[in-house]
Amino acid sequence: MSRGSARAAYQRTTAIGQHMMSTTTTDEPTVLFESNSSLRTYILNRPKKLNALDDTMLSALRPKIEEWSSSDLCGTIVARGNGRAFCIGGDVGSVANNAADPATRSLATEFFKREFELDFILAALKKPYIAIMDGMTMGGGVGLAANAPFRIATEKTVYAMPETKIGYCPDVGGSYFLSRLDGEIGTYLALTSDTISGRAVFEHGLATHYIPSRRIPMLLDRLAELNQPHSSLVDRIIEDLSAEREPTETPAPFTGAKRVALDYAFRHNKVESIINDLEIFAASDNAEVAKWASDTLVMLHQRSPTSLKVALQAIRRGSNLSLLQSLEMELKIATAFCHGASPDFKTGVDAVIFKAKKAHERPEWSPPTLQEVTPAIVNRFFDPKSPFLTSAPSLDLPAELTSGTISNPLKYALPTEKEIGSVVTGSHASGGGLGLRFDELLDRFAELRPGKMGVKEKLLEVVQRRCVLTDNADGNQVWLKWKH
């Protein structure tokens, strides 16, 4: 037997062993599938592992999702998780261990390949797809939900892309969806690995709706009653169960002066420039801004310098790519990490997952500083000629999904800042002219987002931050002018 054949046989044996271990240590399947009238639901069922995705779960999910996608009996697809998490992410401990051993390294890249393929298939579904993020939703869990046309947050939602904590880079389409959030919020989340919770997940565009957790059973019952569900009808049903913001709720974190500082600092294409601006803001007379900047500097110092630079470049590139192109780029980045383009992935997983170091304990990153992460190191993850990318696999997807158009994941969310600006400046696709008062802006979005909860609050926050009032030569300081 040749060395290559022996290695392939070993990899197959290892994969079978892992599969057997994952299926014989529990009495219940790690993914449950339910049918109720035309409603189809998959339920991630590893609550003790916070529903972390493993090979067995990926193997169960894809064929069932493809079956539902082509079935005339399936009307709506819902994603849920058992326990206190929707999905905490991929099983990175196993992946990092496989990547560290040349004999099993291909299993690590194969996991990322299969995970990203599933993410794209879910995004490309032609049926209404609803991801219920009723609990911790991070990393790979975000990938299952991020491009669903309906993404539901509750008071239990805790949302993050925590990859730079473990010496890796945001993936599962993160370069696509994070780069399309308002301002530089996506850049901030990608680099810091910070979490946002509850209603803020909705208000910052990561969820399309916010409903109290106790209403989820009612939502599922109503969805099951739909014989021929249309997306607009599904939207209306979810919207009817939404809850207005209570005065006692914590305000969204990225608004006002803090948001202005965030957009300004994270606009740069170099991490060092971001750090410089944050240091200036840390000395601000505005106590809220100063504390935010100081806290952000602490977070960035804890992260892998290589991960920070790779993540920033991925986010900037992703803003001009399709979802499929972003996933293909991220698969190359994952391959580079698995093949030793940086040791930080193994270092980070060992520190955070296996050794459970405390948050203030910085892993031993290599290189340890931003200044030592040269352009040549970053190019290992992006340059087509990089030796770390020669074995990068390609995504294997159904032709009928890659040839069609993907639904806009922002269609049923709150209006983006960009859309609000286009209405104010008169460049919106629906038409309209210059010279709007705030009440007229409200009326326009009552037409564009009829009955949408939270629109007025979003418009008010954006207008206060991005507009000035002018008199349009009529003596009345009531006309909105966009600040460019």
Crossing angle (nearest 10°) for helices 185-192 and 305-318:
150
Residue with tokens 């966009």: 482
Closest CA to 58 of 118, 138, 142: 118
Task: Mark whether 443 is an active-site residue.
Answer: no
Task: Tell me which of 140, 143, 167, 318 is the catalytic residue.
Answer: 140
Q: How far apart are CA 148 and CA 182, in angstroms?
A: 18
Task: Mark whether 171 is an active-site residue.
Answer: yes
Cis status of the peptide bond prior to 367, with omega within 30 of 0: yes
Asked if 79 and 88 count as a contact pair (C-beta separation under 8 A), the reply is: no
Task: Tell me which of 115, 119, 171, 344 is the catalytic residue.
Answer: 171
**What count of Cα atoms within 13 Å lies in the side-chain half-sphere of residue 302?**
21
Task: Mark whether 383 is an active-site residue.
Answer: no
Q: Rg for the chain (alpha carbons), in Å?
A: 23
Asked if 255 and 460 count as a contact pair (C-beta separation under 8 A), the reply is: no
Which region holds residue 259: left if phi is over 0, alpha if psi is between -120 and 50, else beta? Answer: alpha
Cβ neighbours for 341, distance < 8 A, ≥ 6 positions apart: 377, 380, 381, 386, 388
Task: Mark whether 163 is an active-site residue.
Answer: yes
CA dihedral for 105, 108, 111, 113, sign (positive or negative): negative
Asked if 228 and 340 count as a contact pair (C-beta separation under 8 A), the reply is: no
Measured in degrees and rounded to the nearest 5, phi and psi for residue 90 equal: -80, 160
Distance spanning both ends of the chain, measured CA to CA: 67
Strands in 196-197's sheet, in edge-to-edge order, are 85-87, 136-138, 158-160, 196-197
Task: Tell me which of 134, 163, 235, 461 is the catalytic residue.
Answer: 163
Q: How far apart are CA 449 and CA 446, in angstroms?
A: 5
Task: Tell me which of 81, 90, 135, 205 is the catalytic residue.
Answer: 90
Q: How far apart are CA 440 and CA 468, in angstroms?
A: 15
Closest CA to 133 of 81, 62, 203, 171: 81
Residues marked active site are found at 90, 140, 163, 171
